[in-house]
Homo-oligomer: A and B are copies of this chain.
Amino acid sequence: MKLIEAKQQFISSWGAFGTHWGINRTMAQIHALLLISPDPLTQDDMMEELNISRGNTNMNIRELINWGLVERVLLSGERKEYFTAEKDIWKVVKQIVKERKKRELEPMLQLLDKLEAVEGDKRDKHVKTFVDTVVSIKKLGKQADKTLDTMIKAEESWFVSSLMKMFK
């Protein structure tokens, strides 16, 4: 397989992958493109490679910056802005986990705390099942929260070797 074809497949499947995880296709594709680009790219580079409009490119780059996955690079003597993605995949994963934890898991746990305190007689099976469900989701969620915190702090080497031992 030629590089050009391999790149296309990588970008397109990274985009499809993203859509299964609530990330829009273009954002994932821009990220993929930057991951495999040895040098920083301009908006125009991305527009051309991915055949997307300027507005779309701009908005999705900014979103990637918000997620902490892409950053602006200043190239001396250049008027245009350049962008580059973090290439260390472990760091990328940790960053995504960190953001999703903050945006989704933590608000969910807060809500469950409130819902656990529902009024009503626990002998009513409707109340009991509701509370039991909420409590058990909360318990698992709290454990996940702690585990992810540890992961976010960990070095890849440490993390992998711990898992190795754990799952020998």
Chain B residue contacts of A75, Cβ below 8 A: none
Chain B residue contacts of A88, Cβ below 8 A: 136
Does A2 have its Cβ within 8 Å of any Cβ on chain B?
Answer: yes
Chain B residue contacts of A90, Cβ below 8 A: 140
Q: How far is the CB of A126 from chain B (nearest CB, A)?
A: 6
Q: Which of B22, B93, B132 contacts A21 (CB 8 A)?
A: B22
**Among A2, A125, A166, which residue has the most Cβ atoms of chain B within 10 A?**
A166
Interface SS, A side: helix
Q: Indicate the size class of the contact surface on chain A.
A: 35 or more
Query: By the criterion CB–CB under 8 Å, are B136 and A89 in contact?
Result: yes
As for how many copies of this chain the complex holds, the number is 2
Does A128 have its Cβ within 8 Å of any Cβ on chain B?
Answer: yes
Residue of B nearest to A139 (CB): B89
The answer to whether A166 and B167 touch (CB under 8 A), given A118-B3, A160-B143, is: no
Residue of B nearest to A118 (CB): B6
Q: Which of A51-59, A60-68, A108-116 contacts B (4 or more CB under 8 A)?
A: A108-116
